[in-house]
Amino acid sequence: MSAGTGGGLLVAGTTSDAGKSVVTAGICRWLVRQGVKVAPFKAQNMSLNSFVTREGAEIGRAQAMQAQAARVEPTALMNPVLLKPGSDRSSQVVLMGKPVGEMSARGYHGGRQEQLLGTVLECLAELRGTYDAVICEGAGSPAEINLRRTDIVNMGIARNARLPVLVVGDIDRGGVFASFFGTVALLSPEDQAFVAGFLVNKFRGDVSLLEPGLDMLKNLTGRHTYGVLPFQHGLGIDEEDGLRVSLRGSVRESEVSSPVGEDILRVAVCAIPLMSNFTDVDALAAEPGVVVRFVDRAEELVDADLVVVPGTRGTVRALEWLRERGLADALARRAAEGRPVLGVCGGFQILGEHIEDEVESRAGQVDGLGLLPVRVRFAREKTLTRPVGEALGEPVEGYEIHHGVARVTGGTPFLDGCRVGEVWGTHWHGSLESDGFRRAFLREVAAAAGRRFVPAADTSFGSLREEQLDRLGDLIEEHADTDALWRLIESGAPTGLPFIPPGAPA
Protein backbone atom coordinates (compact mmCIF):
# COMPACT_ATOMS: atom_id res chain seq x y z
CA MET A 1 0.00 0.00 0.00
CA SER A 2 1.36 3.40 -0.90
CA ALA A 3 0.58 6.13 1.60
CA GLY A 4 -1.26 8.92 -0.20
CA THR A 5 -0.97 12.40 1.25
CA GLY A 6 -4.04 13.88 2.86
CA GLY A 7 -6.43 11.00 2.17
CA GLY A 8 -9.58 10.83 4.22
CA LEU A 9 -12.81 9.03 5.03
CA LEU A 10 -15.91 9.80 7.08
CA VAL A 11 -17.38 6.84 8.96
CA ALA A 12 -21.08 7.61 9.42
CA GLY A 13 -23.80 5.42 10.91
CA THR A 14 -27.43 4.60 10.36
CA THR A 15 -27.97 5.30 14.09
CA SER A 16 -26.11 6.21 17.24
CA ASP A 17 -24.18 3.21 18.58
CA ALA A 18 -24.06 1.53 15.17
CA GLY A 19 -20.35 0.97 15.73
CA LYS A 20 -18.80 4.12 14.25
CA SER A 21 -16.26 4.54 17.05
CA VAL A 22 -14.91 0.99 16.95
CA VAL A 23 -14.95 0.82 13.14
CA THR A 24 -12.98 4.08 13.00
CA ALA A 25 -10.50 2.63 15.50
CA GLY A 26 -10.29 -0.60 13.51
CA ILE A 27 -9.53 1.23 10.27
CA CYS A 28 -6.88 3.29 12.07
CA ARG A 29 -5.21 0.17 13.46
CA TRP A 30 -5.37 -1.61 10.07
CA LEU A 31 -3.82 1.37 8.31
CA VAL A 32 -1.00 1.94 10.79
CA ARG A 33 -0.07 -1.73 10.54
CA GLN A 34 0.29 -1.17 6.78
CA GLY A 35 2.76 1.64 7.37
CA VAL A 36 0.28 4.47 6.81
CA LYS A 37 0.59 7.53 9.04
CA VAL A 38 -3.02 7.95 10.16
CA ALA A 39 -4.99 10.06 12.64
CA PRO A 40 -8.60 9.98 13.91
CA PHE A 41 -10.94 12.97 13.89
CA LYS A 42 -14.39 13.79 15.19
CA ALA A 43 -15.56 17.33 14.58
CA GLN A 44 -18.20 17.37 17.29
CA ASN A 45 -18.66 14.82 20.01
CA MET A 46 -21.38 14.57 22.67
CA SER A 47 -20.07 12.49 25.54
CA LEU A 48 -19.54 12.41 29.29
CA ASN A 49 -16.52 10.14 28.80
CA SER A 50 -13.56 12.41 28.19
CA PHE A 51 -9.77 12.40 28.43
CA VAL A 52 -7.00 14.94 29.03
CA THR A 53 -4.25 15.22 26.43
CA ARG A 54 -0.63 15.93 27.34
CA GLU A 55 -1.11 19.61 26.51
CA GLY A 56 -4.03 19.80 28.96
CA ALA A 57 -6.93 19.69 26.47
CA GLU A 58 -10.16 17.79 27.11
CA ILE A 59 -11.36 15.54 24.27
CA GLY A 60 -13.69 12.56 23.96
CA ARG A 61 -12.30 9.28 25.25
CA ALA A 62 -13.34 7.62 22.00
CA GLN A 63 -10.93 9.86 20.09
CA ALA A 64 -8.16 9.13 22.61
CA MET A 65 -8.81 5.42 22.07
CA GLN A 66 -8.75 5.90 18.28
CA ALA A 67 -5.45 7.79 18.57
CA GLN A 68 -4.05 4.82 20.48
CA ALA A 69 -5.30 2.58 17.67
CA ALA A 70 -3.42 4.82 15.22
CA ARG A 71 -0.34 4.81 17.53
CA VAL A 72 -0.26 8.59 17.75
CA GLU A 73 -0.54 11.01 20.67
CA PRO A 74 -4.10 12.40 21.01
CA THR A 75 -4.51 16.18 20.62
CA ALA A 76 -7.33 18.72 20.66
CA LEU A 77 -7.20 18.81 16.84
CA MET A 78 -8.75 15.34 16.82
CA ASN A 79 -11.92 16.49 18.62
CA PRO A 80 -12.26 20.29 18.40
CA VAL A 81 -15.84 20.41 19.75
CA LEU A 82 -16.96 18.36 22.75
CA LEU A 83 -20.44 18.70 24.24
CA LYS A 84 -20.87 17.47 27.82
CA PRO A 85 -24.56 17.17 28.75
CA GLY A 86 -25.58 18.73 32.05
CA SER A 87 -29.31 18.12 31.59
CA ASP A 88 -31.76 16.99 28.92
CA ARG A 89 -31.66 20.47 27.38
CA SER A 90 -28.17 21.91 27.85
CA SER A 91 -24.50 21.01 27.58
CA GLN A 92 -21.13 22.43 28.43
CA VAL A 93 -19.35 23.38 25.21
CA VAL A 94 -15.66 22.45 25.16
CA LEU A 95 -13.82 24.13 22.27
CA MET A 96 -10.27 23.08 21.41
CA GLY A 97 -10.02 21.33 24.74
CA LYS A 98 -11.26 24.18 26.98
CA PRO A 99 -14.78 24.88 28.30
CA VAL A 100 -16.35 28.02 26.85
CA GLY A 101 -19.74 27.93 28.57
CA GLU A 102 -23.10 26.21 28.91
CA MET A 103 -25.55 26.29 26.03
CA SER A 104 -29.04 24.99 25.35
CA ALA A 105 -29.58 22.63 22.44
CA ARG A 106 -31.71 25.28 20.74
CA GLY A 107 -29.01 27.91 21.18
CA TYR A 108 -26.28 25.61 19.89
CA HIS A 109 -28.14 24.41 16.82
CA GLY A 110 -29.64 27.86 16.33
CA GLY A 111 -26.39 29.45 15.25
CA ARG A 112 -23.41 28.61 17.44
CA GLN A 113 -22.78 25.31 15.66
CA GLU A 114 -22.51 26.95 12.23
CA GLN A 115 -19.98 29.43 13.63
CA LEU A 116 -17.72 26.53 14.59
CA LEU A 117 -17.53 25.07 11.09
CA GLY A 118 -14.47 27.16 10.22
CA THR A 119 -12.60 25.96 13.32
CA VAL A 120 -13.52 22.35 12.60
CA LEU A 121 -12.37 22.55 8.97
CA GLU A 122 -9.09 24.21 9.99
CA CYS A 123 -8.36 21.37 12.43
CA LEU A 124 -9.15 18.75 9.82
CA ALA A 125 -7.01 20.52 7.22
CA GLU A 126 -4.08 20.64 9.65
CA LEU A 127 -4.37 16.92 10.32
CA ARG A 128 -4.65 16.12 6.62
CA GLY A 129 -1.55 18.18 5.97
CA THR A 130 0.36 16.16 8.58
CA TYR A 131 -0.92 12.62 8.09
CA ASP A 132 -1.26 10.31 5.11
CA ALA A 133 -4.88 9.64 6.04
CA VAL A 134 -7.44 11.00 8.48
CA ILE A 135 -10.32 8.73 9.46
CA CYS A 136 -13.24 10.86 10.63
CA GLU A 137 -16.15 9.70 12.73
CA GLY A 138 -19.63 11.10 12.26
CA ALA A 139 -22.28 11.48 14.95
CA GLY A 140 -25.72 9.94 15.16
CA SER A 141 -27.01 9.62 11.61
CA PRO A 142 -26.33 11.81 8.56
CA ALA A 143 -30.05 11.55 7.78
CA GLU A 144 -31.11 13.73 10.74
CA ILE A 145 -32.76 16.13 8.32
CA ASN A 146 -33.95 18.46 11.10
CA LEU A 147 -30.30 19.28 11.89
CA ARG A 148 -28.80 19.27 8.39
CA ARG A 149 -28.67 23.08 8.02
CA THR A 150 -26.27 23.44 10.94
CA ASP A 151 -24.45 20.11 10.61
CA ILE A 152 -20.68 20.23 11.10
CA VAL A 153 -20.00 16.56 11.88
CA ASN A 154 -21.68 14.46 9.17
CA MET A 155 -22.50 15.59 5.63
CA GLY A 156 -21.64 19.20 6.42
CA ILE A 157 -18.00 18.34 6.94
CA ALA A 158 -18.00 15.62 4.24
CA ARG A 159 -19.04 18.09 1.57
CA ASN A 160 -16.83 20.93 2.77
CA ALA A 161 -13.77 18.67 3.03
CA ARG A 162 -14.80 16.45 0.09
CA LEU A 163 -14.65 13.27 2.14
CA PRO A 164 -16.11 9.97 0.93
CA VAL A 165 -18.66 8.58 3.39
CA LEU A 166 -18.93 4.98 4.56
CA VAL A 167 -22.24 4.24 6.32
CA VAL A 168 -22.08 1.64 9.12
CA GLY A 169 -25.19 -0.32 10.10
CA ASP A 170 -25.69 -2.61 13.11
CA ILE A 171 -27.39 -5.70 11.68
CA ASP A 172 -27.78 -7.18 15.16
CA ARG A 173 -30.55 -4.63 15.76
CA GLY A 174 -32.43 -5.66 12.62
CA GLY A 175 -33.64 -3.58 9.70
CA VAL A 176 -30.18 -2.84 8.36
CA PHE A 177 -31.18 -2.86 4.67
CA ALA A 178 -34.00 -0.41 5.24
CA SER A 179 -31.65 1.73 7.33
CA PHE A 180 -28.99 1.82 4.62
CA PHE A 181 -31.47 2.63 1.86
CA GLY A 182 -33.38 5.17 3.94
CA THR A 183 -30.20 6.94 5.05
CA VAL A 184 -29.19 7.58 1.45
CA ALA A 185 -32.71 8.37 0.23
CA LEU A 186 -33.19 11.11 2.83
CA LEU A 187 -30.10 13.03 1.72
CA SER A 188 -30.00 15.77 -0.90
CA PRO A 189 -28.48 14.94 -4.32
CA GLU A 190 -25.38 16.94 -3.35
CA ASP A 191 -24.96 14.94 -0.13
CA GLN A 192 -25.70 11.61 -1.78
CA ALA A 193 -22.79 12.14 -4.18
CA PHE A 194 -20.38 11.66 -1.26
CA VAL A 195 -21.98 8.48 0.16
CA ALA A 196 -19.74 5.79 -1.31
CA GLY A 197 -21.22 2.70 0.28
CA PHE A 198 -21.94 0.62 3.33
CA LEU A 199 -20.35 -1.54 6.03
CA VAL A 200 -22.39 -4.16 7.89
CA ASN A 201 -21.49 -4.49 11.57
CA LYS A 202 -22.17 -7.25 14.14
CA PHE A 203 -23.30 -10.00 11.76
CA ARG A 204 -24.01 -13.43 13.23
CA GLY A 205 -24.20 -16.48 10.99
CA ASP A 206 -23.40 -17.51 7.43
CA VAL A 207 -22.44 -14.53 5.26
CA SER A 208 -23.64 -16.35 2.14
CA LEU A 209 -27.22 -15.96 3.42
CA LEU A 210 -26.69 -12.19 3.51
CA GLU A 211 -25.21 -11.83 0.04
CA PRO A 212 -28.51 -11.77 -1.93
CA GLY A 213 -29.58 -8.80 0.17
CA LEU A 214 -26.28 -7.01 -0.44
CA ASP A 215 -26.69 -7.57 -4.19
CA MET A 216 -30.20 -6.14 -4.09
CA LEU A 217 -28.95 -3.17 -2.03
CA LYS A 218 -26.33 -2.45 -4.68
CA ASN A 219 -28.93 -2.66 -7.45
CA LEU A 220 -31.19 -0.29 -5.52
CA THR A 221 -28.54 2.28 -4.56
CA GLY A 222 -25.66 1.75 -6.98
CA ARG A 223 -23.34 1.53 -3.97
CA HIS A 224 -20.86 -1.12 -2.85
CA THR A 225 -20.86 -2.85 0.55
CA TYR A 226 -17.27 -2.64 1.75
CA GLY A 227 -17.46 -5.47 4.25
CA VAL A 228 -19.47 -7.55 6.71
CA LEU A 229 -17.94 -7.55 10.18
CA PRO A 230 -18.85 -10.50 12.41
CA PHE A 231 -20.21 -10.02 15.91
CA GLN A 232 -17.50 -10.27 18.57
CA HIS A 233 -17.82 -9.95 22.33
CA GLY A 234 -15.76 -7.54 24.37
CA LEU A 235 -15.06 -4.87 21.75
CA GLY A 236 -17.22 -2.09 23.22
CA ILE A 237 -14.27 0.01 24.37
CA ASP A 238 -14.56 3.67 25.43
CA GLU A 239 -18.00 4.30 23.96
CA GLU A 240 -19.45 7.76 24.05
CA ASP A 241 -23.16 7.35 23.42
CA GLY A 242 -24.23 4.64 25.83
CA LEU A 243 -23.30 2.60 28.85
CA ARG A 244 -23.70 -0.77 27.08
CA VAL A 245 -24.98 -2.33 30.26
CA SER A 246 -28.32 -3.03 31.78
CA LEU A 247 -28.29 -1.57 35.28
CA ARG A 248 -28.30 -5.03 36.78
CA GLY A 249 -25.95 -6.51 34.19
CA SER A 250 -22.23 -6.95 34.06
CA VAL A 251 -20.05 -4.15 32.79
CA ARG A 252 -19.81 -4.03 28.99
CA GLU A 253 -19.77 -7.43 27.30
CA SER A 254 -16.82 -8.64 29.36
CA GLU A 255 -16.47 -12.23 30.45
CA VAL A 256 -15.14 -12.80 33.96
CA SER A 257 -12.08 -15.05 34.01
CA SER A 258 -11.61 -17.58 36.79
CA PRO A 259 -10.06 -16.12 39.94
CA VAL A 260 -6.46 -16.79 40.87
CA GLY A 261 -7.36 -17.16 44.54
CA GLU A 262 -10.27 -18.99 46.13
CA ASP A 263 -12.80 -16.13 45.93
CA ILE A 264 -14.13 -13.72 43.38
CA LEU A 265 -14.41 -10.02 44.19
CA ARG A 266 -17.74 -8.26 43.64
CA VAL A 267 -17.66 -4.57 42.64
CA ALA A 268 -20.86 -2.49 42.57
CA VAL A 269 -20.77 0.84 40.70
CA CYS A 270 -23.51 3.32 41.60
CA ALA A 271 -25.18 4.30 38.33
CA ILE A 272 -25.60 7.94 39.33
CA PRO A 273 -27.18 10.56 37.02
CA LEU A 274 -24.90 12.14 34.38
CA MET A 275 -22.27 9.51 35.14
CA SER A 276 -18.97 10.43 33.52
CA ASN A 277 -15.82 8.47 32.82
CA PHE A 278 -17.39 5.20 33.90
CA THR A 279 -14.51 3.74 31.86
CA ASP A 280 -12.52 4.02 35.12
CA VAL A 281 -13.88 0.61 36.15
CA ASP A 282 -12.81 -1.15 32.94
CA ALA A 283 -9.45 -1.95 34.52
CA LEU A 284 -11.21 -3.65 37.43
CA ALA A 285 -13.38 -5.68 35.05
CA ALA A 286 -10.20 -6.80 33.24
CA GLU A 287 -8.92 -8.54 36.39
CA PRO A 288 -9.54 -12.31 36.59
CA GLY A 289 -12.13 -13.00 39.25
CA VAL A 290 -13.46 -9.44 39.51
CA VAL A 291 -17.17 -9.02 38.73
CA VAL A 292 -18.22 -5.42 38.02
CA ARG A 293 -21.88 -4.44 38.00
CA PHE A 294 -23.74 -1.13 37.71
CA VAL A 295 -26.47 -0.82 40.33
CA ASP A 296 -29.26 1.58 41.27
CA ARG A 297 -30.77 0.04 44.42
CA ALA A 298 -29.53 0.05 48.01
CA GLU A 299 -30.01 -3.70 48.45
CA GLU A 300 -27.56 -4.32 45.61
CA LEU A 301 -24.73 -2.92 47.75
CA VAL A 302 -25.19 -5.53 50.49
CA ASP A 303 -23.08 -8.31 48.97
CA ALA A 304 -20.57 -6.03 47.22
CA ASP A 305 -16.96 -6.22 48.35
CA LEU A 306 -16.25 -2.77 46.90
CA VAL A 307 -18.66 0.03 46.02
CA VAL A 308 -17.52 2.68 43.53
CA VAL A 309 -19.15 6.10 43.35
CA PRO A 310 -17.97 7.29 39.91
CA GLY A 311 -17.59 10.69 38.32
CA THR A 312 -20.57 12.79 37.27
CA ARG A 313 -21.36 16.03 35.45
CA GLY A 314 -23.96 16.76 38.14
CA THR A 315 -22.46 16.25 41.59
CA VAL A 316 -25.32 17.82 43.55
CA ARG A 317 -27.96 16.09 41.44
CA ALA A 318 -26.19 12.73 41.94
CA LEU A 319 -26.01 13.36 45.69
CA GLU A 320 -29.76 13.99 45.80
CA TRP A 321 -30.36 10.82 43.76
CA LEU A 322 -28.29 8.71 46.17
CA ARG A 323 -30.32 10.06 49.09
CA GLU A 324 -33.68 9.56 47.37
CA ARG A 325 -32.92 5.92 46.58
CA GLY A 326 -31.50 5.00 49.96
CA LEU A 327 -28.02 4.48 48.55
CA ALA A 328 -26.57 7.29 50.66
CA ASP A 329 -27.62 5.52 53.87
CA ALA A 330 -26.25 2.24 52.53
CA LEU A 331 -22.89 3.91 51.83
CA ALA A 332 -22.82 5.35 55.36
CA ARG A 333 -23.50 1.90 56.83
CA ARG A 334 -20.66 0.43 54.77
CA ALA A 335 -18.26 3.09 56.02
CA ALA A 336 -19.29 2.47 59.65
CA GLU A 337 -18.75 -1.28 59.17
CA GLY A 338 -15.30 -0.80 57.62
CA ARG A 339 -16.38 -2.07 54.18
CA PRO A 340 -14.60 -0.57 51.14
CA VAL A 341 -15.96 2.44 49.24
CA LEU A 342 -14.10 4.32 46.47
CA GLY A 343 -15.18 7.75 45.23
CA VAL A 344 -13.68 9.09 41.99
CA CYS A 345 -13.93 12.76 40.98
CA GLY A 346 -17.61 13.70 41.46
CA GLY A 347 -17.96 10.56 43.60
CA PHE A 348 -15.08 11.80 45.77
CA GLN A 349 -16.81 15.15 46.18
CA ILE A 350 -20.06 13.42 47.17
CA LEU A 351 -18.28 11.51 49.95
CA GLY A 352 -17.02 14.76 51.50
CA GLU A 353 -18.53 16.93 54.21
CA HIS A 354 -19.62 19.99 52.32
CA ILE A 355 -20.09 21.27 48.74
CA GLU A 356 -20.29 24.92 47.68
CA ASP A 357 -21.56 25.03 44.11
CA GLU A 358 -22.38 28.26 42.29
CA VAL A 359 -21.08 26.88 38.96
CA GLU A 360 -22.44 23.45 38.01
CA SER A 361 -25.82 23.21 39.78
CA ARG A 362 -25.85 26.72 41.31
CA ALA A 363 -27.30 25.05 44.41
CA GLY A 364 -25.08 26.99 46.79
CA GLN A 365 -24.23 25.29 50.10
CA VAL A 366 -24.95 21.55 50.18
CA ASP A 367 -24.03 18.91 52.75
CA GLY A 368 -22.15 15.89 51.41
CA LEU A 369 -22.30 12.38 52.86
CA GLY A 370 -19.64 13.25 55.44
CA LEU A 371 -17.61 10.07 54.97
CA LEU A 372 -14.36 11.92 54.19
CA PRO A 373 -12.89 15.12 55.74
CA VAL A 374 -13.15 17.11 52.53
CA ARG A 375 -14.78 20.44 51.66
CA VAL A 376 -15.39 21.21 47.99
CA ARG A 377 -15.86 24.57 46.28
CA PHE A 378 -16.73 24.70 42.58
CA ALA A 379 -14.48 27.03 40.57
CA ARG A 380 -15.42 28.47 37.18
CA GLU A 381 -12.11 27.37 35.69
CA LYS A 382 -11.90 23.65 35.03
CA THR A 383 -8.92 21.61 36.27
CA LEU A 384 -7.44 19.61 33.36
CA THR A 385 -4.22 17.85 34.31
CA ARG A 386 -2.28 14.59 33.92
CA PRO A 387 -0.91 13.90 37.43
CA VAL A 388 1.74 11.31 38.27
CA GLY A 389 2.35 10.03 41.78
CA GLU A 390 2.56 7.07 44.11
CA ALA A 391 0.09 5.23 46.31
CA LEU A 392 0.27 1.98 48.27
CA GLY A 393 3.94 1.83 47.36
CA GLU A 394 3.25 1.75 43.62
CA PRO A 395 3.60 4.35 40.82
CA VAL A 396 0.30 5.78 39.54
CA GLU A 397 -0.72 7.90 36.56
CA GLY A 398 -4.10 9.50 35.98
CA TYR A 399 -5.96 12.50 34.64
CA GLU A 400 -8.19 15.12 36.27
CA ILE A 401 -11.32 16.79 34.81
CA HIS A 402 -13.30 18.78 37.36
CA HIS A 403 -14.56 22.19 38.49
CA GLY A 404 -14.67 21.20 42.15
CA VAL A 405 -11.65 22.21 44.24
CA ALA A 406 -11.19 19.92 47.25
CA ARG A 407 -9.75 21.04 50.58
CA VAL A 408 -8.70 17.94 52.50
CA THR A 409 -8.61 18.50 56.27
CA GLY A 410 -7.71 15.04 57.55
CA GLY A 411 -7.37 11.34 56.83
CA THR A 412 -4.46 9.61 55.13
CA PRO A 413 -3.27 11.17 51.85
CA PHE A 414 -4.36 9.22 48.77
CA LEU A 415 -3.74 10.43 45.19
CA ASP A 416 -4.28 14.09 46.14
CA GLY A 417 -7.42 13.01 47.95
CA CYS A 418 -7.65 11.04 51.18
CA ARG A 419 -8.55 7.81 52.88
CA VAL A 420 -10.39 7.25 56.17
CA GLY A 421 -10.68 3.63 57.22
CA GLU A 422 -11.89 1.80 54.12
CA VAL A 423 -13.34 4.88 52.42
CA TRP A 424 -11.10 6.21 49.65
CA GLY A 425 -11.50 9.34 47.54
CA THR A 426 -9.56 10.91 44.67
CA HIS A 427 -10.05 13.24 41.71
CA TRP A 428 -7.78 11.03 39.58
CA HIS A 429 -9.46 9.23 36.71
CA GLY A 430 -7.61 6.32 35.14
CA SER A 431 -5.54 5.48 38.22
CA LEU A 432 -6.69 1.85 38.19
CA GLU A 433 -5.06 1.38 34.79
CA SER A 434 -1.70 1.45 36.62
CA ASP A 435 -1.22 -2.30 37.08
CA GLY A 436 0.88 -2.40 40.26
CA PHE A 437 -1.35 0.10 42.05
CA ARG A 438 -4.54 -1.69 40.96
CA ARG A 439 -3.24 -4.99 42.35
CA ALA A 440 -2.20 -3.36 45.65
CA PHE A 441 -5.60 -1.65 45.94
CA LEU A 442 -7.49 -4.89 45.27
CA ARG A 443 -5.42 -6.70 47.91
CA GLU A 444 -6.50 -4.02 50.42
CA VAL A 445 -10.13 -4.38 49.34
CA ALA A 446 -10.02 -8.18 49.58
CA ALA A 447 -8.50 -8.05 53.06
CA ALA A 448 -11.12 -5.58 54.30
CA ALA A 449 -13.93 -7.62 52.70
CA GLY A 450 -12.63 -10.89 54.16
CA ARG A 451 -12.28 -12.43 50.70
CA ARG A 452 -9.58 -14.90 49.74
CA PHE A 453 -9.12 -13.09 46.45
CA VAL A 454 -5.67 -12.79 44.89
CA PRO A 455 -4.98 -10.37 42.00
CA ALA A 456 -3.35 -11.96 38.98
CA ALA A 457 0.36 -11.18 38.93
CA ASP A 458 0.55 -10.68 35.17
CA THR A 459 -2.57 -8.72 34.17
CA SER A 460 -1.51 -5.75 32.04
CA PHE A 461 -4.38 -3.41 31.24
CA GLY A 462 -2.31 -1.67 28.57
CA SER A 463 -1.57 -5.00 26.86
CA LEU A 464 -5.24 -6.02 27.02
CA ARG A 465 -6.23 -2.72 25.42
CA GLU A 466 -3.66 -3.26 22.66
CA GLU A 467 -5.07 -6.74 22.08
CA GLN A 468 -8.58 -5.27 21.74
CA LEU A 469 -7.34 -2.68 19.23
CA ASP A 470 -5.53 -5.38 17.27
CA ARG A 471 -8.75 -7.40 17.16
CA LEU A 472 -10.50 -4.36 15.69
CA GLY A 473 -7.75 -4.06 13.08
CA ASP A 474 -8.10 -7.78 12.34
CA LEU A 475 -11.84 -7.37 11.74
CA ILE A 476 -11.17 -4.76 9.07
CA GLU A 477 -8.27 -6.64 7.51
CA GLU A 478 -10.09 -9.98 7.39
CA HIS A 479 -13.69 -8.98 6.69
CA ALA A 480 -13.59 -5.71 4.73
CA ASP A 481 -12.67 -5.11 1.09
CA THR A 482 -9.45 -3.37 2.07
CA ASP A 483 -8.29 -2.66 -1.50
CA ALA A 484 -11.56 -0.88 -2.26
CA LEU A 485 -11.44 0.84 1.13
CA TRP A 486 -7.96 2.20 0.48
CA ARG A 487 -9.01 3.48 -2.97
CA LEU A 488 -11.85 5.28 -1.23
CA ILE A 489 -9.52 6.87 1.33
CA GLU A 490 -6.96 7.85 -1.31
CA SER A 491 -9.20 8.96 -4.18
CA GLY A 492 -12.59 9.90 -2.72
CA ALA A 493 -16.10 8.75 -3.54
CA PRO A 494 -16.63 7.12 -6.95
CA THR A 495 -18.02 9.42 -9.63
CA GLY A 496 -21.44 8.88 -11.12
CA LEU A 497 -23.17 7.52 -8.00
CA PRO A 498 -26.92 7.51 -8.71
CA PHE A 499 -29.42 9.73 -6.91
CA ILE A 500 -31.93 7.82 -4.80
CA PRO A 501 -35.31 9.59 -4.49
CA PRO A 502 -36.96 11.27 -2.76
CA GLY A 503 -33.90 13.07 -1.33
CA ALA A 504 -33.99 15.58 1.48
CA PRO A 505 -37.11 17.75 1.71
CA ALA A 506 -36.64 21.36 0.70
Question: In 394-423, which positions are buried (b, 16+ CB within 10 angstroms) versus exposed (e)?
Answer: eebebbbbbbbebebeebeebbbbbbbbbb
Alpha-carbon 204 to chain mean position: 25
Residue among 345, 403, 427, 479 flagged as catalytic? 345
Pairwise CA distance, residues 30 & 473, whole Å: 5
Residue 17: exposure state from Cβ atoms within 10 A (0-12, 13-18, ≥19): middle
A 10 A CB-CB count for 488 gives 23
DSSP state of 455: -
What gap in Å lies between CA 391 and CA 453, rounded to an integer?
21
Whether residue 402 lies in the annotated active site: no
Question: Residue 429 catalytic?
Answer: yes
Distances (CA, A) of 175 to 142, 172, 214, 244, 412: 17, 9, 13, 20, 56
Please give the Cα distance from 187 to 499 (Å, whole number).
Answer: 9
CA 114 to chain centre: 25
* CA gap 439, 381 in Å, rounded: 34
Q: What 3-state DSSP class applies to 207? A: helix
User: Which parts of 191-274 are beta strand (E)?
Assistant: 195-203, 224-230, 265-270
Instruction: Quote the DSSP letter at residue 416.
Output: T
CA distance 60 to 91: 14
Partners of 137 in beta bridges: 11
As beta bridge partners, residue 289 has none
Q: Can you give the length of the chain in residues?
A: 506
Residues 6+ apart with CB under 8 A from 217: 177, 180, 181, 198, 223, 225
Alpha carbon distance 306, 257 (integer Å): 18
- The residues carrying an active-site annotation are 345, 429
